[in-house]
Amino acid sequence: MLNTLIKLGSQLSHNRGEWDDIIDYPNIQQEKEKNIKLYVAELVFDLDNQDIYVNPSLKEYDEEKSCLNYKNIKIQGGNNKAIYACVEAGKLEQIRKSFFGIIDSKGNTPAVSQFQEALSKDFPQFIISPLGRLLPQIFKLRNIFEAKFTIEKESKGKTENIIDEKIIASMINLPAFSKIVLFYTSVISSYDGYINSTPISQVVGFQEFMKAKFLEKGQTKNTVNKKVCYATGVLSENVDEVDFADRYSMNKMFVKETKNYASFFDKNSFAANYQVSANNQLLLGRASKYLLEHQKVRIAGIDHCIIPQFLNKEDVDIRYITRGIYQKTELLFNSDPLQELITEAEYETDSPFWITYLAFESDGNFFKTINEIKDVSKFHFYKIIETFQKINTFFKVDLKDAVDWLSVMTDYGKQHSFNLASIYSIIPLRKDKEKKNEVLALFKLMFENRKIDSNKLYKHFCYLVLCHRYKRYDAFKNIKKYDDKYFDFAIRDSVFKYFALIQTLKQLNLLQDMEENEIIIDEVSESIKNEYQQKIDSFFTKMSYNTNQKAMFYLGRMLSTVAYIQKDKSKNVLEKVNFSGMDKTDILRLRNGLVEKAKQYKEVSKIIFTDSEFSTYFNFNDWNMKSEEAVFFLLSGYSFGIVKSTENN
């Protein structure tokens, strides 16, 4: 992984400006799509008149220049002091911390700003600079800032002052369909030579301080003695203990604690055990930032970063190829409506590669790896994509007589393609209460080309049906909700999505404990069978039903018939189904109950055929089907051919 990151970091370094590593850019994609005009607002510290105000004249936001000109530095996490002259809208609290400090936990008012603390502690050489001289003068305007830009709010029994950006907006005549995306600070101080408002980012000392803090780190170290850089295994200059400033970084996996990748390191000898050259640390940081911004996907409800690997001898454009890997990954994991496939030629490469999906947790102040899907080969990756495409076509075209596939794949009015996001929505996950994410475990087995226990799939199916039956949607947030009157459709959708999952795994040769089914051809002439029965037989053949599965299918058809007979009753025969699993005793009890109900309603003629077929295929002497599998194939018969009427849209 390190080799890939260093190569990517090196490629990203071409034509790179000196500030690019620390300048942050707001995400304005949604605003651009909605044609919202974006502006930059100026917060003026007027030392001549002892006042703070917002300049009513707004500047248009320039995607390339605004953040760089006003030095919109990425917010530092942890115990770092605030040193920001420019922030995104919604982050003005960082401006308050930078220039006016923050009240401590005991309610004590700060004596100096955090910017002043940062200079005093680590960069005292800048205290005598114009920036260092202006900061104490700006701090004296603290009470004015609090009075003009904050409001009182109660929180946990305490009253505190919070910044209200609505107050700031009221000071500006903001045009319709527009938005402030950036705030920068400026100063007026005739005594110091700043007669007109001057951005803090242009005050002498500011950029010098930023370079010293972020850009010149490690440049003054001894360059004569070379040591081994453990990231590359090569003798290099400026090799020292790793020290990555950015906390939201994959490189933060390499920590000085007994967890993650440093689990076998002696913490007292960490500097000797893991040392990296200053240049490679810079490249690793750039690569991590790029991947987290452009190669992050949501898999089974968890953030993952896509990390490709190539043969060492291969000279490839990593950034170019990762775009294609990301787009193809989106086809598998994206739950948005159907997308057009990317053109075959775009972002393709003849070079072999392997993919690692790195699952992580982070609040911006730490980076913790929680799961890995490792070494997914290019061949297997493409095979999975191709298999899902074939499965969608198979269910839409080949099984059109058995199921309305487009209806099954329509959620909340939007049509989707069956993919891994669909699978995520059919395996109940109790959020934050289960140590193991079963969906993620399934995906890991799929991508790492390892066998999957089919019995576990049937258990997941039973949990899903129980969720629908007893409306456990609050506990399982990843499951689609159905109203009571659409329970049959919940069953149908669940059955056929699990069929699609099972067929996908069969195509990938990843199912274990799935017996080879012997296809039995009925001796009855096809011409004698009615059209509906021919559709059922065709379905059996295409889905490779064995005799046990056929027995449960016909019992499901009996269940559907009797349930329809009782359609006007508040309770029906579904109450007799043990959705957790049905053994031989449960099955026969259900069968007898269905016959009794049919007799009660004098509708025995409607179940004679299906009961006869059940008896033909059911092995009364040696029944060995797993109880959860029995429920699945029972409900496959129950939901066979269900479609919404025109009246129900």
Residue type, 336: D
Are 354 and 372 spatial neighbours (Cβ–Cβ below 8 Å)? no
- Across the chain, mean pLDDT equals 86
Q: Is pLDDT of 432 > 80?
A: no
Lowest mean pLDDT among 39-43, 98-102, 269-273, 366-370: 269-273
Q: Is pLDDT of 405 > 90?
A: yes
- Predicted local distance difference test score (pLDDT) of residue 267: 65
Q: Is pLDDT of 276 > 50?
A: yes
Are 287 and 11 spatial neighbours (Cβ–Cβ below 8 Å)? no
Q: Is pLDDT of 524 > 50?
A: no
Residue 119 CB partners (closer than 8 Å, separation 6+): 126, 127, 132, 135, 209
266 membership: H or E segment, kind and range:
none
Residue type, 262: A
CB atoms within 10 A of CB 584: 16
601 membership: H or E segment, kind and range:
none
Sign of the four-CA dihedral 384, 385, 390, 393: positive
- Predicted local distance difference test score (pLDDT) of residue 646: 41
Q: For residue 398, what are its two tokens? A: 């080949």
What is the average pLDDT across 437-462? 95
In percent, the amount of the chain with pLDDT more than 70 equals 88
Helix (H, G, I), strand (E, B) or coil at 575: helix
Helix (H, G, I), strand (E, B) or coil at 309: strand
Give 606's DSSP letter: G
What is the average pLDDT across 497-509? 96
CA dihedral 580, 586, 588, 591 (to 10 degrees): -50
Lookup result for tokens 């705030």: 183
- Tally of helices (H runs) and strands (E runs) in the chain: 23, 20
Over the range 250-288, which residues count as b (16 or more CB within 10 Å of their CB) and which as e? bbbbbbeeeeeebeebeeeebeeebbbbbbbbbbbbbbb
- Predicted local distance difference test score (pLDDT) of residue 351: 82
Lookup result for tokens 């959020």: 431
- Predicted local distance difference test score (pLDDT) of residue 513: 65
C-alpha distance across the termini of the chain, in Å: 51
Lookup result for tokens 């923050």: 102
- Predicted local distance difference test score (pLDDT) of residue 514: 57
- Predicted local distance difference test score (pLDDT) of residue 434: 63
CA 590 – CA 61 distance, rounded (Å): 69
- Predicted local distance difference test score (pLDDT) of residue 350: 78
- Predicted local distance difference test score (pLDDT) of residue 171: 84
Confidence of residue 233 (pLDDT cuts 50, 70, 90): confident
Are 21 and 286 spatial neighbours (Cβ–Cβ below 8 Å)? yes
Lookup result for tokens 């609050």: 474
Residue type, 49: N
Are 631 and 582 spatial neighbours (Cβ–Cβ below 8 Å)? yes
Q: What is the DSSP code string of 377-389?
A: EHHHHHHHHHHHH
Q: Is pLDDT of 477 > 60?
A: yes
Q: Is pLDDT of 333 > 90?
A: no
Sign of the four-CA dihedral 618, 619, 620, 623: negative
Confidence of residue 529 (pLDDT cuts 50, 70, 90): low
Q: 34 to each of 31, 65, 177, 179, 182, how far by Cα in Å?
A: 5, 22, 9, 12, 18
CA 365 – CA 519 distance, rounded (Å): 59
Confidence of residue 143 (pLDDT cuts 50, 70, 90): very high
Helix (H, G, I), strand (E, B) or coil at 291: helix
CA 224 – CA 371 distance, rounded (Å): 41
* pLDDT winner (highest mean) among 279-293, 494-508, 561-575: 494-508
- Predicted local distance difference test score (pLDDT) of residue 255: 56
- Predicted local distance difference test score (pLDDT) of residue 552: 97
Q: Which residue has the higher pLDDT, 137 or 243?
A: 137
Confidence of residue 649 (pLDDT cuts 50, 70, 90): very low
- Predicted local distance difference test score (pLDDT) of residue 265: 63
Beta strand ranges found along 405-491 (DSSP E): 410-411, 414-415, 452-453
pLDDT tens profile 337-352: 444 444 444 556 778 8
Q: 627 to each of 202, 468, 554, how far by Cα in Å?
A: 73, 19, 16
Residue 554 CB partners (closer than 8 Å, separation 6+): 610, 611, 613, 614, 617, 637
- Predicted local distance difference test score (pLDDT) of residue 175: 84
Confidence of residue 519 (pLDDT cuts 50, 70, 90): very low
CB atoms within 10 A of CB 325: 21
Are 228 and 268 spatial neighbours (Cβ–Cβ below 8 Å)? no
pLDDT tens profile 181-231: 999 999 999 999 999 999 999 999 999 999 998 877 655 555 557 888 888
Q: Where are the alpha helices (DSSP H) in 43-113?
A: 66-69, 92-100
pLDDT tens profile 237-263: 888 877 776 777 887 766 555 455 555
Q: Where are the alpha helices (DSSP H) in 175-259?
A: 206-210
What is the average pLDDT across 522-546? 76
Residue type, 105: S
pLDDT tens profile 363-377: 777 788 888 999 999
- Predicted local distance difference test score (pLDDT) of residue 262: 56
Confidence of residue 427 (pLDDT cuts 50, 70, 90): very high
- Predicted local distance difference test score (pLDDT) of residue 391: 95
